Amino acid sequence: MLEFLLRTVWLIPCYPLLGVVLALPWFPGIIRRTGPRPAGYISLLLTGLAFAHSLLALQGLWGQPTRAMLLPWLHVGSLALDFPLEISVVTLSACALVTGLNLAAQVYAITYMEMDWGWARLYALMALFESGMCALVLSDSLFFTYFILEILTLGTYLLVGFWFNQPLVVTGARDAFLTKRIGDLFLMMGVLAIWPLAGTFDFSELAIWAKTAQLDPTLATLLGLALIAGPIGKCAQFPLHLWLDEAMEGPLPSTILRSSVVVATGIWVLVKLYPVLALSPVVLTVMVTIGVISAIGGSLIALAQIDAKRALSFLVTAYMGLAFIAVGTGHGETALLLVLTHAVAMALLVMSLGSIIWNNVTQDLSQFGGLWARRPITGLAFLGGMVGLIALPPGGSFWAILALGDRLWATYPGLVGVLALVNLLATFGLARVFGLIFTGKSQPMTERSPESPWPIILPMVVLLGFVLHLPLLLYSWQLLPSWASINPAVATVLTVSSLIGLSGFWLKPIVIPWQPLHELLANDFYTTKIYRFVIVLPVVLAANLTAFLDRYFVDGLVNMISYVSVRSGQILRYSTNGQTQFYMLTVVVGVAFLMGMMMVL
Amino acid sequence: MLSILIWLPILGALVLCLLPKKLGAAYLRRVALAFGSLTAVWTVWLLTQFSLSTVGMQFTEFVPWIKIIDLNYSLGVDGLSLPLLALNALLTLIALYSTAYSGERPRLYYALILLVSGGMAGAFTAQNLLLFFLFYEVELIPLYLLLVNWGGSKRDYAAMKFIIYTAVSGILLLAAFLGIALLGPVPSFAFDPAVTRGLPPLTQVILLGLLLLGFGIKIPLVPLHTWLPEAYVEASPPVAILLGGVLAKLGAYGLLRFGLELFPATWHLVSPILAGIGAVSAVYGALVAIAQKDIKRMVAYSSVGHMGYFLLAAAAATPVSLLGAVLQMVSHGLILAILFHLIGVVETKVGTRNLDALNGLMNPIRGLPFTSAFLVLGGMASAGIPGLVGFIAEYLVLQGSFAVFPIPTLLCVVCSGLTAVYFVVLLNRTCFGKLDNETAYYPVMQWSERVPALILATLVLFLGIQPGWLTRWSESTTNAIIATVPTTDTTLSLSKLNRLISTR
């Protein structure tokens, strides 16, 4: 039975995809009689199947070597585009994580989206994401990775644009699509360039090729930069980070996925591509630099956000920045560990936040307060997520960040300082959010606030249990560093930075005391405005200029020729005056002219 | 065999003209549809009989006609023309089906559409230069009439511009064909690459130049494109589908058939220029599209951009890129058809095509959710989102051309980004946003409006997921064509790329 499930692993992405297809008739109102709910239940059922399949397959593969599978797709001349599956413990665990979190988010959405008319669309899109991500982690091919990332970009557009009646949502969806697309197109350039060079798209074969490849350093750098641009967009790293912030206009159940696993796809791709990227030291330096900027920038911006969802979303950028640092310094496995601990903890935080937002009808941090007594389960979930996310022993991320710090200590001690700083800021930011929501006095918006119904509470509590048990699981999977190898200095620095950060519980500033700094951070370093001048304006100008030339120059020339012909005909018709002498004269002059021309030539 | 594709629609047009006067438009439509369907069924049968491994023409027919100028009725089909024949049959059927009953002068309208379809089939199958030219010119007349009689307010201007441009294109082609026929050792209009390859190089360049100009107008390429936005925008949606979906492909097909196949060596010589024109067309079309306010005009300009990809691929002339070029013709035809159809629906329901006036059509109760959903699909297919047929065509074009012309290819990738920009603008303004409840009393969507969108969307999706169903028809033909082109050094791309970079 398990063997059969292993052999049919390719079905895992297919279940949710089937859910998408089955949900479709409800969206444009082809089926009206039942209301949109059945679409959601079908999708839930199929997600459950995918989850069960992943878990059982994982159990079947445990302790066995990695398997490979090839699904033929398209052969054109020498170009062979087959879908290679890598079936390993890591990929199946990733599938289980994706489907599990998706199941939780979809159950969550039953209540969260209770009164919404877009059920079919929401569930179809969430299932699309699930399917895409499962296929992404299973695929061992750069081409199909690009293929799926691009589909997910479209998915982001539609999911962020879910409540398309609101103007902010519309611009948010547009920006999400276009920023991600910029990253994707650079990735596509990389894909196009790598085929003539390496002759393969398989990650494993690319790694072998990279060992012996003799590439011009400039070419290697350009190739590497193109390849990391895709993940920069996916992971919302500077300078392509603004979409994640605007994506917060989308429905919250999708945010659970986006903040936890969708952004992580970028890191996954980077880890797979590392051998190629390592061909150029410049690329690695760029990755680390971008990671540092995003980590510090993201955690700083989060401090100045009034919107609760945004205060969390910038921390996602910050943590993905840490993962960028990890990959850039050659610690791909640590990056994946960090991504795992981040994913579950962040999903829990978003769920807890959603539970508050759902029945307090606001996400403005300045309007909350004193909810600890009324919402203990939600509050505990938030604390659990926080412990799981910051570097505070024994939380999951502590071990991941510690492992990273240990490895950087000898080579890049400065980066350990960055880790501590980001951890401090992130802790402070989370503590601030917790403090503003749960402690202090009640406000008008929080006077009445019963605990949420079971579809919200159940997945949240299950996930809370998982987050709290994660260190034990990691221990039993031998993913934690051994006691002997732990660097006490790093552990102390990280723990102390977390403890200092916890002061946010009491300080909990709504605005940063120094106004200009607050403005700078609250407006995300004015990125939107800068983009409007640096990118949007030139494109609009170029478009309008080309359109102007097209209309008045290219087409104008054509119209002028026709005008001249018509006009000259109209003028010349008055020369038909019936005098034979005049016609004769014209003929003679014409013949003389032609003969003259022939003599000259 | 092939003659049926040509003469059955023409017979249909005749029958329509001879039917009694009192019959209503619905009846005429059914008759026209019957002929269209028969042609489509026959095309499907041809597809099943087509041998995939055979190189060269199949189902050939030969009837001597005017021996003195070697004008023979010679037909044949290979992997290059077969997908286009299928596209022609499908889009004709869709154009007939999607026309409302209430149109004016239905008898003439349906007859003309059938005539266009027959003429197009003739041009795609003709294996004689002069015969091709005859069909190429003959389908102009019904198309001109379709444009000038049924269309927008500026249709006179558009139709006049279209006919003048295309007539110039025809004259240039005639000149080129006469040159080919008379400069060879024996005067002959037969399609014979062996003869043209032996012509002196300068003659070849001049003849190819004429062909490029002639077909360049039809494709169209920048700066010969200004008839296109007017014609596409002013045409009624079914005519625009035929015009953009099939007729413009005649130019692309002609360029491959008579340019690349007859003059491979010269083609190779001028290919860097062609690639440059292709890249410029792509970026130009996309930029102008961004600046448009009329969604139909926007889609019309997108067509200029997408044909730029085609030219790039044809210029690169590698096995992958040429197959990509064929795919690009088909995928562009399908996508353009679905977009024009949906825009037509939006226009009839909402009454405007202006981006500033449209809003919130995705609204499930009072908007047009079905149309919006398919508009998203069509727009995204055009923008090259994977899983849809536009992507695989674009990808093969770019992957095939990259090693030969890296810079134009990268420009086309940038153009793909710009395409995303204007489609997002289009979708954001029309489908997203708040529906104005004061004006949102739209007529109910008819099944005759839904079915064409459904069929086209299914094809766009299916061929995007299973592109093998599209590539199989053409692969052996394109490989055979490429074998005649002097080898482009795709294998040495590493050193070439290095050279390219180190010279900067």
Lowest mean pLDDT among A279-288, B157-166, B336-345, B356-365: B356-365
The reported pLDDT for the residue numbered A28 is: 66
B214 neighbors B169 (Cβ within 8 angstroms): yes
Which residue among A28, A195, A196 places its CB closest to the CB of B373?
Answer: A28
The CB density around residue A170, as the number of other CB atoms within 10 Å, is: 25
pLDDT tops 50 at residue B492: no
N- to C-terminal Cα separation, chain A: 92
Q: What are the pLDDT digits (tens) for A162-188?
A: 888 888 888 889 989 998 999 999 999
pLDDT (mean) for A427-451: 88
Closest residue in A to B474 (Cα–Cα):
A76
Name the residue with higher pLDDT: B359 or B455: B455
Q: How confident is the model at residue A241 (pLDDT cuts 50, 70, 90)?
A: confident
**Does B344 have pLDDT greater than 70?**
yes
> Which are the contacts of A109, defined by CB distance < 8 A and separation ≥ 6?
A40, A122, A123, A126, A251, A253
Say yes or no to pLDDT of A483 above 80.
no
**Does residue B265 carry a pLDDT above 90?**
no
B434 close to A (CB below 8 A)? yes
Taking residues B38-62, what's their average pLDDT? 88
Rg (CA), chain B: 22
The closest CB to that of A539, out of B284, B290, B370, belongs to B290
Does residue B494 have a pLDDT over 80? no
Weakest mean pLDDT among A47-56, A354-363, A460-469, B166-175: A354-363
Whether B431 shows a pLDDT value over 80: the answer reads yes
Is the CB of A76 less than 8 angstroms away from the CB of B291? no
Q: Express each pLDDT in A129-164 by its tens digit.
A: 999 999 999 999 999 999 999 999 999 999 998 888
CB pairs A-B closer than 8 Å: 156
Per-residue pLDDT reduced to its tens digit, A54-66? 999 998 888 888 8
Quick: pLDDT tens for B458-467: 999 999 999 9
Would you tell me which residues 197-236 of chain A have a C-beta closer than 8 angstroms to some C-beta of chain B?
Answer: 197, 215-216, 218-219, 222
Q: How far apart are CA B229 and CA B340, in angstroms?
A: 13
**How far apart are alpha carbons B30 and A416 in whole angstroms?**
77
The 3-state DSSP class for residue A71 equals strand
Closest Cβ opposite residue A546 in set B287, B380, B399: B287
**B385/A540 CB distance under 8 A:** no
**Residue B294 tokens, joined:** 């009329």
Element spanning B304, H or E:
helix B295-316
Residue B424 has pLDDT above 80, yes or no: yes
- Taking 80 as the threshold, does the pLDDT of residue A342 lie above it? yes
Percentage helix, strand, coil for chain B under 3-state DSSP, each rounded to 5: 70, 5, 25
Quick check: A45 pLDDT over 90? yes
Q: What is the pLDDT of residue B287?
A: 92
C-alpha span between A287 and A290 (Å, rounded): 5
Cβ contact B411:B276 at 8 Å:
no
**Can you say whether the dihedral through the CA atoms of B49, B50, B53, B54 is positive or negative?**
positive
Provide the token pair at A288: 């680390």
Q: What angle do CA B64, B69, B73 make, to 5 degrees?
A: 30
Cβ-defined contact of A216 to B498 (cutoff 8 Å): yes
pLDDT in tens, A360-396: 888 888 888 888 888 899 999 999 999 999 988 888 8
Pairing of strands B58-66, A79-87: unpaired
For the stretch A271-298, pLDDT in tens is 999 999 988 899 999 999 999 999 999 9
Residue/partner pairs of A403-406 with CB below 8 Å, 24 or more apart: A403/A331, A403/A334, A403/A337, A403/A480, A403/A481, A404/A322, A404/A325, A404/A326, A404/A331, A404/A334, A404/A335, A404/A338, A405/A487, A405/A490, A405/A491, A405/A493, A405/A494, A406/A481, A406/A485, A406/A486, A406/A487, A406/A490
Q: Integer distance in angstroms from the first to the last C-alpha of chain B?
A: 57
Q: Do the Cβ atoms of B413 and A170 come within 8 Å? A: no
Distance, in Å, from the CA atom of B81 to the CA atom of B417, rounded to the nearest integer, reads 31
Q: Which residues of B touch A182 (CB under 8 A)?
A: 417
Instruction: Using CB atoms, pick whichever of A154, A165, A219 lies closest to residue B498.
Output: A219
Write down the pLDDT at residue B149.
87
Between residues A524 and A126, the one the model is more confident about: A126
pLDDT at A222 over 50: yes
Q: Does A578 touch chain B (CB under 8 A)?
A: no
How confident is residue B335, by pLDDT bands cut at 50, 70 and 90? very high
Evaluate whether A85 touches A433 at the Cβ level (below 8 Å).
no
Is the pLDDT assigned to residue B501 strictly greater than 80?
A: no
Q: Summarize the confidence of residues B259-284 as an average pLDDT.
A: 90
Q: What is the pLDDT of residue B491?
A: 46
Give the model's confidence band at A478: pLDDT under 50 very low, under 70 low, under 90 confident, else very high.
confident
Paired strand residues for A364: A307
Mean pLDDT over A23-46 rounds to 81
Nearest chain B residue to A144, by CA: B386
Lowest mean pLDDT among A552-556, B95-99, B100-104, B415-419: B100-104
Higher pLDDT, B356 or B69: B356
Task: Give the residue from chain B lying closest to A154, CA to CA.
Answer: B385
Contact (CB, 8 A) for A193 and B402: yes
CA angle A580, A566, B297 (to 5 degrees): 165
Closest C-alpha to A423, from A523, A315, A333: A315
Question: What is the pLDDT at residue B488?
Answer: 58
Chain B nearest-CA distance from A394, in A, is: 43
pLDDT of residue B497: 55
Q: Which residue of B has its CA nearest to A116?
A: B364
Query: Is residue A601 exposed (0-12), middle (13-18) or buried (19+ Cβ within 10 Å)?
Result: exposed
Q: Which of the four pLDDT bands, split at 50, 70 and 90, describes residue B34? A: very high
Q: What is the mean pLDDT of chain A?
A: 89
Q: What is the mean pLDDT of chain B?
A: 88
Q: What is the pLDDT of residue A352?
A: 93
Which runs of consecutive H residues, i.e. helices, occur in A235-331? 242-246, 252-257, 264-277, 281-303, 308-328
What pLDDT, on a 0 to 100 scale, did the predictor assign at position B504?
Answer: 45
Measured between alpha carbons, how far is A68 from A140 in angstroms, rounded to an integer? 9
B38 to chain A, minimum CA–CA distance in Å?
31
| Residue B402 burial (10 A CB sphere; 0-12, 13-18, 19+) | buried
Residue A87's H or E segment, with its range, is: strand A79-87
Q: Is B458 on the interface with A (CB under 8 A)?
A: no
Share of chain A above pLDDT 70, in %: 100
